Amino acid sequence: MSHRLLTLSALRNRLAQHPAGKTALSLLKVVATAALPLLLLWLAGCSSEPAPRDTHAPVSDNGEISSFFYSLLLYLDAAILAIVVAVWAYALVKFKKQAGDDTLPEQSHGNMKLEVIWTAIPTLIVVAITVPMLVGVFQMSKRHDPNQPVVEVDVTGKQWWWEFDYKSGTASGLHTANELHLPAGTAVTLHMTSADVIHAWWVPRLGGKRDANPGRNYPMSFTAKTPGIYDGQCAELCGSSHALMGTKLIVHPLAGEIEVDYKGQKIKLESYESWVREQQAPAKPPVAELEKGLRLFKERTCPSCHLIQGLEGTDIAARSATSGPNLTHVGSRMGIAANTLVNNPENIAKWISKPSAVKPGSKMPDGLVTPEDAKAIAAFLSSLK
């Protein structure tokens, strides 16, 4: 290392001895200085497009509140920094020590006026931040008016996926996994709990995180405003596959169908009520070439953890803390294994033939199905739209 450094400095010295080398060196310095801020911007991931987990592109009332406070603090801090740096730079030039002047500058110790000023200003800043922020905290934790329609969903964190049990309106009785579907512009209250360890529900563009604790029930109330598909992630270290505990929030329009952009893909979103109707329908019996998949699904004991509503012998799973995702309409989901994989027959086969390879520590055991059986089961499951 030291040998290499010596060589570099020797090279610089040699370059500096020639006029052309000198020019090249100064040019290099200018380029390096200009490139530094650009490099920092690049490292900060700055982009004009909202990223899938961008907290500054809020899509709910709560998200707008927390994004507002982030911006308030950012601009206030930037203004304070600018003032302090300006005063400091002014003092540096104005009160520079003159050659031959050995007198001490004017001493400010015990100056009452100064003491009051530099106590009062920070106090005012803290008050200016605290008062509106307390108002924001109360706004974000408010409960919805019980006289208005509220979509209520029980959210259960499990190692390592999310279960949603719909408790109100037409969706009442619906159980889905990993994708939370909500209507735009409607009050929502999620009731968070966990079946095992502590998880945390977090969809950045929705704003705010909420812990899901075993034996507790914490509410989270908000109104999602903009239809779209938003990514979320468990935000509490919950075991070996914590990083693979993804979730999606899908906000449907109240009526009609719209097209939304999701990671550069155009995706059609039907109305919330139409989604509910499809999900409430029992599974359709498979066509002849998919019957083998259904038979293997039953033979390999899958129904002891997974429910498929409407097909004989597949609706026996007791809904409990240990049961796996409801598969009645698994084919309609965007992802599988808590959004670790895109939902397609190849990925389903890969997932069920060796779950531990996709999600280490998965409760679904390896070796239940052979790769050949997995293909047949995957084809059947994919048909459950």
Residues that bind ligand CUA (CB under 6 A): 157, 160, 199, 234, 236-238, 242, 245
Provide the 10 A C-beta neighbour count for residue 97: 9
Distance in Å, CB of 277 to ligand CUA, minimum: 31
In three-state secondary structure terms, 175 is strand
The number of residues in the chain equals: 385
Distance in Å, CB of 153 to ligand CUA, minimum: 18
Distance in Å, CB of 361 to ligand CUA, minimum: 11
d(CA 17, CA 10): 11
Q: Which is nearer to ligand CUA, 169 or 239 (CB)?
A: 239
The end-to-end CA distance of the chain, in Å, is 61
In three-state secondary structure terms, 188 is strand
- Which token pair is 349? 């086969």
Q: Which is nearer to ligand CUA, 234 or 308 (CB)?
A: 234
d(CA 360, CA 354): 10
Distance in Å, CB of 249 to ligand CUA, minimum: 16
Distance in Å, CB of 212 to ligand CUA, minimum: 8
CB 155 within 8 A of CB 201: yes
Please give the C-alpha separations between residue 186 and each of 61, 172, 221, in angstroms, as whole numbers.
Answer: 11, 16, 11
Tell me the H-state helices in the chain.
2-16, 19-43, 61-94, 112-140, 272-280, 291-299, 345-353, 355-358, 371-382
Q: Which is nearer to ligand CUA, 179 or 236 (CB)?
A: 236
What is the distance of C-alpha 271 from the center of its chain? 24
Q: Which is nearer to ligand CUA, 161 or 272 (CB)?
A: 161
Distance in Å, CB of 251 to ligand CUA, minimum: 22
Phi-psi sector, 367: left (phi>0), alpha (psi -120 to 50), beta: left
Q: Which is nearer to ligand CUA, 63 or 246 (CB)?
A: 246
Distance in Å, CB of 194 to ligand CUA, minimum: 8
Q: Which is nearer to ligand CUA, 249 or 269 (CB)?
A: 249
Q: Which is nearer to ligand CUA, 159 or 326 (CB)?
A: 159
